[in-house]
Amino acid sequence: MKWLIGDPKRFIGKRVLDLGCRSGRMSCLFGLLGASVTGLELNQVSLHEAWEEAKRWNLIGQVHFEHYDGNPSHIPGDNYDFIFTKSVLVVIDDLGTFLPGLALKLSRDGELLAAENLTGGRFLKFVRRYFIHRRWRGFESRFHGVDLKFLTILNEVFKIVELKRYYGLVIAIRARKR
């Protein structure tokens, strides 16, 4: 995350969309760095833990959480300076449709910050399915991981500025919309 975030000062006074915010920790981190943050999560995921995290850090008013239905055109607001995702894009069924809608939510010079799981081989798929994500029903059927096809689709909508691989498990991507 340290590499992906870069200079923390660049978030002061900026607008951040945390797509797939879950517990709200990253949303709160961006809030602590001085950003105004909207954390989004799918309708069926509770936001209670995220709101509690924001209260714990005294960020109510600076960090806001909402549900959405997974359709990028229904994401509230626009002109975000940063959109952050962590292990979200790898479970989107149709990236070719989703990413252009997501790009519309960025400001002219906005940046996508994505930390996503690499596809990996059979062993890694086994570990994900039976140890890491065993509680998530349907995860294995939705998960596609970052591979050449993923990067090609991403590069049609965003210009990949930098990417960094970590231990063959995760890739961090900084990208700007085309």
pLDDT tens track for 19-72? 999 999 999 999 999 999 999 999 999 999 999 999 999 999 999 999 999 999
Q: What six digits make up the tokens of 129?
A: 């399915």
- What rounded mean pLDDT belongs to the chain? 88
CB-CB contact of 38 with 64 (8 Å): yes
Contacts 24+ apart (CB under 8 A), 5-9: 5/33, 5/113, 6/174, 8/33, 9/33, 9/34
The full set of domains in the chain, from first to last, is: 2-177 (3.40.50.150)
pLDDT tens track for 65-82? 999 999 999 999 999 999
pTM value is: 0.87
Q: Which residues of 126-153 are buried (b: 16+ CB within 10 A; e: fewer)?
A: eebeeeebeeeeeeeeebbbbeeebeeb
User: Which of 125, 122, 114 lies closest to 153 in space, CA to CA?
Assistant: 114
CB-CB contact of 19 with 87 (8 Å): no
User: Cα angle vertex 136, ends 141, 147, to 5°?
Assistant: 45
